[in-house]
Chains A and B, each alone.
Chain A
Amino acid sequence: MTERKLSAEDVRRLYDQHGPALVAYACSFVTDAAAAEDVVHQVFLRLLSAEIAIPDVPVAYVYRAVRNAALNAQRSGLRAVEVDPQSSVFQHRCGNQESALALEKALAELPEEQREVVVMRVWSGMTLEEVAAAAGAPLNTIASRYRYALEKLREKLRPYERNENGTMEDGK
């Protein structure tokens, strides 16, 4: 597998495209959104320093790097900032903060490999083939993980899904 160093422009593009999803991903390892953002920043700042040669699929590397950095941050537990229990890393388009918090909680409760697939697929906009390549797992395995993850999330978000769909239909 070939490796290369990303230009600052490449890093910026990667950050714009996957930054929000990566923060959501990191959020399930650390205590709050601000800590997750710090973790993602840390990874991208290292990429900007151009000291690291990364594989041909940068997204896969970035997800691994964010995971490791988040786990390190979790272990060190250095963050002393007061966590706001009402702030979520997600925002629903109807502005329902409750469902956003429920989603964040439900994601955090998923097994790591399932959570990773959901975040990559839904918020990084990757196809399951791309997720399989990034995760280094067979496509069937990734598809199964995704389906299990969706089932669990649906179960936990069902009340909010109904309400929000109802609200949106009422709004029409």
Chain B
Amino acid sequence: MEQWKMENNDRKFEEYLGEFRPRKPRALPELIVHRQVWPRRLAAAAAIAISLGASLWFVRRKNELNNGEVVAKDSTSMLEAKSPASPLALLPLTQVALQDPKQLDAQLTAASLRVLPDFRGSTSTLRVLAKE
């Protein structure tokens, strides 16, 4: 009974204490800042991701183009080597020799006119040497 009386008094006094309210503190400034910073960070991350992706795409694209040019250059040089006007190249000549020996003779003759010293003209090396 004594205990109940005590508890009842306590409850009443507790209610009285509850009539006092602690002053509400000012709002947390960082909460507002957080809300503003979050989308900014997201936008920055998206921008970085996009620019990185674009850079990678450009690099890959450039590499693909370069590879294409190299292939094209290779095939062009092969063709040039096969033509009579081109300088002597062992690999194309070997290919021509295997495929068509007559064509090889023709190509060697044509090439010799360009590569070997000319001894038939009036200013040929041989004629000059013969005069001496």
Contact = CB atoms under 8 A, between A and B. Distances in A.
A44 interface: yes
A93 B30 contact: no
B19 A48 contact: no
Contacts of A118: 17
B25 A48 contact: no
A94 B23 CA distance: 14
A150 B10 contact: yes
Contacts of B31: 8, 11-12, 48
Interface string B94-119: 00000000000000000000000000
Given A20-B21, A89-B22, A92-B20, A45 B13 contact: no
Interface in A91-148: 91-94, 99-100, 103, 118, 121-123, 147
Given A33-B23, A153-B17, 9 more contacts: A11-B28, A37-B26, A40-B25, A48-B28, A89-B22, A93-B21, A94-B19, A150-B10, A157-B16
A15 B25 CA distance: 9
Interface residues on A, range: 35 or more
A103 B21 CA distance: 11
B14 interface: yes
Contact of B23 (A8, A89, A154, A157): A89
Contacts of A33: 23
Interface in A50-101: 88-94, 99-100
B120 interface: no
Given A8-B34, A12-B31, A150-B10, A91 B25 contact: no
Nearest to A37: B25
A161 interface: yes
Interface string B1-42: 000001001100110111111111110101100110000000
Contact of B24 (A12, A20, A45): A20
A87 B122 CA distance: 122
A154 B24 CA distance: 24
B95 to A, nearest CB: 70
Contacts of A19: 24-25
Nearest to A157: B16
A90 B23 contact: yes
10 closest pairs, A vs B, by CB? A20-B22, A24-B22, A90-B20, A37-B25, A48-B30, A122-B17, A23-B25, A8-B34, A93-B19, A19-B25
Given A122-B17, A147-B10, A153-B17, A48 B34 contact: yes
A23 B18 CA distance: 16
